[in-house]
Amino acid sequence: MDFLELWEQMGLAVKTLMLLLGIMSMWSVGVFLERLFTFAQATKQSKAFAPQVAKHLKDGKLKDAIAVSQSKNFKYSHLGKVVLAGLQEFQFQQDTGVELSKDDVVDSVRRAIQRAAALTAADLKKGMGSLATIGSTAVFVGLLGTTLGVINAFQGIAATGSGGLGAVSAGIAEALVGTAIGLFVAIPAVWFYNYLTGRIEYFNVEMDNSSSELVDYFIKK
C-alpha cells in the first residue's frame, strides 16, 4: 500500500490530525528559516557596527556614535540596540542640566542598558515558544492519530468479520503512519530549537560584554 491508499482509508479524525501535523511542520520550518535570516543579519550588522561606534566613542563624538546606532543599516544588530539605549540615556542625563553624581549617571545608564538587553533578548526568542511546543507535542498528536487509526482498523475488522493477517496488517500500517509523521515533525523541530537556543545564548554573551564595555567607558569618561 502506498501513502495515497493509506490516506484514502484514514478516517476523518485521523486525516484532520495529519493535516495538523503538516501545518506544524511547515510552521516550524518557517520559524527556523526566519530566525536564521534574522540571526545572520544580526551577526553581519553587529560586526560592522562595533568598530564604527568604538571609533566615535574613542574620539569623544557621542552624537556621531548615537547616529551610527540609529542607522537603518544596523536595525538588526543586537549590539546596536543595547549600545543605543546606553548612549541615549547618557546623552539625556547630560542634556537635562540636572547635577547628578557620576555614579548616579552610570547607574542610570546601566539600568537603561539592562532594559534594552532584556527587550532585545525577548525579540531574539520570537517564535521559539512555538518550536518548543511543536517539538514536544507533535509525537503525541501522531500517537493520537495512531490510536484513532487502530480503533478504525478494529471497527473495520469487526464490521467485515475478517480477522486475517492481511486485514490486520493493513489496518495497523495505516495507524502507524500517524506516529511516523509525528516523529518526522517533532525531531527537526527539536533540532531547530536547540540550534537557535545556542545562537541566542551567544548573542546574550555578546550583549553582556558590550554592555560592560560601554559602562566602563562612561565610568572612565
Q: Provide long-range contacts, Cβ within 8 A and 24+ apart, for 149-154.
A: 149/10, 149/11, 149/14, 149/174, 149/175, 149/176, 149/177, 149/178, 150/175, 152/10, 152/11, 152/14
pTM confidence score: 0.84
> Residue 48: what pLDDT?
94
Half-sphere exposure in the Cβ direction for 55 (13 Å, CA): 8
> Residue 172: what pLDDT?
72
> Residue 2: what pLDDT?
62
Q: Give the domain ranges of the chain.
A: 3-220
C-alpha distances out from residue 189 to 37, 128, 139, 184, Å:
17, 10, 11, 9
25 close to 142: Cβ distance less than 8 angstroms: no
Euclidean distance between CA atoms 207 and 117, whole angstroms: 7
Per-residue pLDDT of the chain (221 residues; tens, 9 = 90+): 566 766 776 777 778 888 999 999 999 999 999 999 999 999 999 999 999 999 999 888 989 999 999 999 999 999 999 999 999 999 888 887 667 788 888 899 999 999 999 999 999 999 999 999 999 999 999 999 888 877 777 776 676 665 555 556 666 776 788 888 999 999 999 999 999 999 999 999 999 999 999 998 888 77
Euclidean distance between CA atoms 81 and 58, whole angstroms: 19
Euclidean distance between CA atoms 82 and 105, whole angstroms: 17
Rounded to 10 deg, the angle between the 165-220 and 128-160 helix axes is 170
